[in-house]
Amino acid sequence: MDISKIDKNMVKNEEVYTTDDKDIYTIPHVKFDLYGVFYDAQDCTFRRIDKEAASKAGIGVNFLHKCTAGGRIRFRTNSTLFSVHVKYLGMSPGDNMSEIARSGVILLEERIDGSFWTQMVTRLSIDPKENISSCNLSGEMKNYILYLPNYNTITELKIGLSKGAKVEGGKKYKDILPILYYGSSITQGGCAARADASYQAIISKWNNIDFINLGFSGSATAQPSVVEYMCGIDCSLFVMDYDYNAPNADYLEKTHYPLYESFRKTHPNTPILMVSKPDMENEHQEEERQKVIKASYRRARRSGDKNVYFYNGKNFFNIDNREICTVDRCHPNTLGMYLMAKKLYAKMKKISKDFI
């Protein structure tokens, strides 16, 4: 469904503002493909879920759903320069991630051979609400992808290209529904070094499949409004990376299987991948929590569901240097995210050839 046909606030901009040397496009714009987030023009905010669902889920989700985790813009241009003007709601707090990790906007060139080349990494300026960054491009018609911050709220986004440069929608994702991820701060992207280094973004680079990041730091507790919202999303795979924020094993037991049941009722044929948390040595209750997820998986299989799967998070960092895979004994650094992506991608390929 094209939401712009039923909500005028979601209509994509078609206007271009021209300066002496640049054409300025306000995002969302018809010539740029926006993924992972949508723009609420009424509130001047990019969102990951519906405002009403977020408000019912509590203060955490209500704040965090406006962080642009998983937001991407794909486009193709022959411009010789690129600039991005970003207005943030404010500074994004946190002492275990850099400003680039929390708020950086990352521009990559998508090369013909499937590799990526970093063109630009933004940083917050002294005034966090006004940020303009720029770089030079080749002037040849190439594909680019702009990753939006995992841990900040963007209220305005403008892209500048050389005056008169051609611009059009970028490389397309595979003709398959996006992968839906639900989880906590790790799912949201903490503590990857950059927005394009979350495990979902890495997997998407490898298989060129769109994704939706519904990770909410400290707030993924299977709230009814969030569950209902997710049940309305058509996806090719649902990754229940939901464990970290359940306050204890008892709470997880009360909510985990019901979340699976709710999603399965509205998506009878969609693969569901249940994942347990990676920091198994961090808390005394981890074995009990993992038992809950395994029990959900086994119960689903006994009920006849052959399209539900389980991955043991204990195996994510099963390497000699396990201790350097996280920032704070919990949140993966970029190495940890890479290992998570590698293990989950291998699992996905076993689930279906569609995910290769």
Residue 142, domain extent: 3-169
Same domain, 13 and 74: yes
Identify whether 107 is part of a domain. yes
Q: Does residue 284 carry a pLDDT above 90? A: no
Q: What is the domain-level CATH number for residue 30?
A: 2.60.120.260
Identify whether 174 is part of a domain. no
Identify whether 200 is part of a domain. yes
Same domain, 231 and 145: no
- Residue-wise pLDDT for 216-239, tens only, equals 999 999 999 999 999 999 999 999
Q: What is the domain-level CATH number for residue 187?
A: 3.40.50.1110
CA–CA gap between residue 295 and residue 336 (Å, rounded): 26
Same domain, 192 and 250: yes
Same domain, 310 and 184: yes
Identify whether 85 is part of a domain. yes
Same domain, 32 and 139: yes
Sign of CA dihedral 297, 331, 101, 247: positive
Expressed in percent and rounded to 5, the helix, strand and coil fractions of the chain are: 30, 25, 45
pLDDT at site 90? 73
Please identify, among 169, 203, 227, the residue that sits at the C-terminal boundary of a domain. Answer: 169
Identify whether 120 is part of a domain. yes
pLDDT at site 97? 83
Same domain, 22 and 108: yes
Same domain, 316 and 276: yes
- Residue-wise pLDDT for 81-124, tens only, equals 999 999 888 766 666 788 888 899 999 999 999 999 999 998 76
44: left (phi over 0), alpha (psi -120 to 50) or beta: left
Domain count, the chain: 2
Same domain, 91 and 208: no
Prediction pTM value: 0.93
